């Protein structure tokens, strides 16, 4: 392991797990290409360490924001990068300058992109975004024909891809996903009708669809959450094996006996009925340890699970050790597996916080140092 940060609270990221997850996905979807979705700081894992390590094994990289793309270019990443989110016309020059692929989600954006690429004397790569049922961004499937028609005359754009996004691909009932796929097929029929080739890369599948809807794999898939070893829903078919890569470490910062009648933390939400050992852990909701987990979460101290007690503060929270002993500096695990075998999963944190695993991971804030390991 590289040198540990001075902060006792840090996130250990197992890069080899990420690579193995990517390899497992690649093997399953072959010959489709794989776009590694590294948006939102690589789902909280720390894009500065994850992107340079994973990029050589990924065909494409998917991000949400053009600024994330510029950041990866500055890190020296040369893969094709598609900016999946909605971009504004005034951001188009940034795509041209940084060789980023634009998701064209309106006819106006397509036209601006064509004009600006012309002025810059460059060819800008574009993927056409079709909304088949997510109602987020993209041209509706039922209005796509003039949009596709227009794209054929944009001589300064390279229309490299066409894509859509599923709203419900991780659930057991794939009725909506199948409807979305049918609508996408109808859009693609535009090319067949004219006897012209469709854009070379058709893509639609996020993690749920990769796992349980192979008909939607097309020419490329876009795994996000499962790349990080987390399944996109409790009921999704686990057709590919993936392993989580995060261990969230901390250490005991304070250890004391708390007596009855002395409630713990803001709002006095918890107190013990007998003298009990209460620990203070130097991590709080400003680190992404959700305040909504108050009196619900558990942590592992010296290999054993204990309940979190009293309101979680911005930078610290407390743990009830009952009769047990622990010293300042002892090991605490907030997420991941302890050496003794006990573990806390992203699903558990999500349950305690009243959210999903995506939000748990992407909310681990920038002030928590990331330590990347490959062993």
Ligand X SMILES: Cc1ncc(COP(=O)(O)O)c(C=O)c1O
Binding site for ligand X (CB under 6 A): 37, 84, 165, 206-207, 222-226, 232
- By beta-carbon proximity to ligand X, the closer residue of 244 and 284 is 244
List C-alpha distances in Å: 347 to 302, 358, 360, 361: 22, 10, 9, 10
The DSSP-derived string for 316-334 is -EEEEEET----TT-EEEE
Give yes or no for a contact between 43 and 356, defined as CB atoms under 8 angstroms apart. no
| Cα–Cα nearest to 370, from 283, 258, 248 | 248
- By beta-carbon proximity to ligand X, the closer residue of 77 and 242 is 242
Report the alpha-carbon distance of residue 215 to residue 359 in Å, rounded. 28
Least distance (Å) from ligand X to the CB of residue 228? 8
| Residues contacting residue 115 through CB under 8 Å, at least 6 positions apart | 156
Q: Residue for token digits 């399944």? A: 231
Least distance (Å) from ligand X to the CB of residue 223? 5
Least distance (Å) from ligand X to the CB of residue 96? 22
- By beta-carbon proximity to ligand X, the closer residue of 351 and 359 is 359
Query: Measured in Å, how far apart are the chain's first and last C-alpha atoms?
Result: 8
Least distance (Å) from ligand X to the CB of residue 234? 14
Least distance (Å) from ligand X to the CB of residue 168? 11
The enclosing H or E element of 257 equals strand 254-258
| Cα–Cα nearest to 127, from 149, 99, 153, 158 | 158
For residue 221 the two structure tokens come to 């898939």
Catalytic residue among 142, 189, 254, 266: 266
Verify whether residue 266 is a known catalytic residue: yes
For residue 341 the two structure tokens come to 């075998």
Catalytic residue among 39, 125, 129, 251: 39
Report the alpha-carbon distance of residue 113 to residue 100 in Å, rounded. 12
For residue 324 the two structure tokens come to 């047990």
Q: Give the Cβ contact number of residue 271 at 10 Å.
A: 15
- By beta-carbon proximity to ligand X, the closer residue of 24 and 207 is 207
Report the alpha-carbon distance of residue 170 to residue 96 in Å, rounded. 35
Verify whether residue 26 is a known catalytic residue: no
| Cα–Cα nearest to 201, from 158, 152, 161 | 161
Least distance (Å) from ligand X to the CB of residue 293? 22
Q: Shortest Cβ contact with ligand X: which residue?
A: 224
Catalytic residues: 39, 266
């Amino acid at each position: 392991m590289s040198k540990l940060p001075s902060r006792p609270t840090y996130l250990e990221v197992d890069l080899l797990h990420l690579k193995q997850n990517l390899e497992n996905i690649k093997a399953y979807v072959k010959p489709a290409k794989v776009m590694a979705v590294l948006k939102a700081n690589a789902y909280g894992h720390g894009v500065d360490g994850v992107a340079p390590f994973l990029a050589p094994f990924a065909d494409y990289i998917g991000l949400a924001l053009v600024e994330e793309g510029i950041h990866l270019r500055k890190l020296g990443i040369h893969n094709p990068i598609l900016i999946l989110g909605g971009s504004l016309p005034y951001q188009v020059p940034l795509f041209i300058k940084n060789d980023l692929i634009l998701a064209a989600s309106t006819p106006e954006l397509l036209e601006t992109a064509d004009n600006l690429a012309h002025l810059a004397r460059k060819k800008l790569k574009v993927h056409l975004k079709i909304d088949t049922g997510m109602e987020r961004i993209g041209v509706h499937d039922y209005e796509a024909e003039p949009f596709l028609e227009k794209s054929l005359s944009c001589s300064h754009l390279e229309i490299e891809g066409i894509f859509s996004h599923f709203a419900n691909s991780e659930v057991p009932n794939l009725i909506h996903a199948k409807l979305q796929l049918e609508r996408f097929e109808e859009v693609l029929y535009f090319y067949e009708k004219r006897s012209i080739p469709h854009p070379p890369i058709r893509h639609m599948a996020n993690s749920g669809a990769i796992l349980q809807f192979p008909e939607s794999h097309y020419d490329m898939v876009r795994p996000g959450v499962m790349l990080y070893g987390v399944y996109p829903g409790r009921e999704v078919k686990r057709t590919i094996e993936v392993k989580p890569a995060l261990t969230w470490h901390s250490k005991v910062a304070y250890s004391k006996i708390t007596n009855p009648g002395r409630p713990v933390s803001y709002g006095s939400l918890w107190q013990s009925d007998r003298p009990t050992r209460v620990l203070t852990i130097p991590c709080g909701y400003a680190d992404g340890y959700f305040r909504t987990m108050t009196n619900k979460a558990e942590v592992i101290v010296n290999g054993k699970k204990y309940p979190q007690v009293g309101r979680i503060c911005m930078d610290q929270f407390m743990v009830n050790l009952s009769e047990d002993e622990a010293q300042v500096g002892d090991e605490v695990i907030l997420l991941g597996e302890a050496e003794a075998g006990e573990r806390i999963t992203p699903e558990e944190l999500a349950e305690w916080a009243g959210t999903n695993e995506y939000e748990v991971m992407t909310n681990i804030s920038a002030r928590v140092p990331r330590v990347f390991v490959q062993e």
